[in-house]
Amino acid sequence: MSRRPSHPVRLLASALAAGALLTTAACSDGGGSQSASDTAAEQAGVARPDAAKRTPTGSPSASPATLTEAGAKAALLTEADLEGGWNQVQDADKWRDRLLVGEVDVADFLTAKSSATDCQALLDALYGDGLLGDPSGPSALTGFEQGDSRLLEQVAGYDRGGLDARMKWLRTLPDTCDEFTATGAGGAKRTVQVTEASVPEVGDARAGLRVSVQGDADGGPATLTLDVAAVRVDTSAVTVMGGGLDGGQTDSVEQAVRQGTERLKTVLDGGTPSPQPTTMD
């Protein structure tokens, strides 16, 4: 990815924060006093509703706990969760890719000008780490570097209706946008392609994209390729974006999605993500 300016930005939820990790909860004893699972949930930064704490034996299982700021941070990936020499960085919230800045050419959408608005929204969201819109709950973000490639992960809580709508919107973009032109600063033309990408069968809902932007960077031709994935778990979500000028990061993004979703589920269940990655098929 091209280097982003260092000015402060709003975090995604987005995106696209360093993780603090905590201990697995035991089951609730169903009594009036605080149980071991309640204590572990509090230590992991998760708020459990009273009804969830005291679900009678034989009743349907309680809904996942509400994500908190501490829980969002605990759910973030660590270097141990990723293969291939990814190094965690401290300035991921300042990353920005200049090739994503541009005005969509409406002439590419003669019969569906509203599609130009969707494609502009996609570019803006990728640049501003807002792929799933603004979160209504806690948000945490972390990033990793591997050579000239970068991987960004964000964990956040959302309004359920808005989150479902945004996930559905993402799945329409390969058809809506497909290929279009954007004009950057100074009139430079950029060709943008949007295709569907597979996402591991994890979480409650998921969406994946591959976005490539062909243009100029540092005085020469360049292609920015990003693999993007979003996974919903109840009213929370994990968003991962990886790639750069050297190409996409399909394998690393899929691994990050699997591990990130598992960590989020553990936190929402009142547990503590393991310092070692979970072995998953």
> 248-269: per-residue pLDDT in tens?
999 999 999 999 999 999 999 9
Residue 148, both tokens: 């000239």
Q: CA-CA distance, 63 to 89, in Å (whole number)? A: 34
pLDDT at position 12: 35
Domains along the chain? 71-263 (3.40.1000)
Query: pLDDT band for position 66 (50/70/90)?
Result: confident
pLDDT at position 224: 96
> Please, which residues have CB within 8 angstroms of residue 176's CB and are 6 or more apart in sequence?
112, 115, 118, 119
Contact 23, 249 (CB under 8 A): no
Of 131, 145, 123, 117, nearest in space to 211 by CA: 123
Going from the C-alpha of 148 to that of each of 34, 237, 239, 248, the distances in angstroms are 49, 27, 21, 11
Mean pLDDT score across all residues of the chain? 80
Residue 87, both tokens: 């190094």
| Over residues 64-86, mean pLDDT | 92
Query: pLDDT band for position 4 (50/70/90)?
Result: very low
The single-letter code of the amino acid at 5 is: P
Report how far apart the first and last C-alpha atoms of the chain are (Å, whole number). Answer: 30
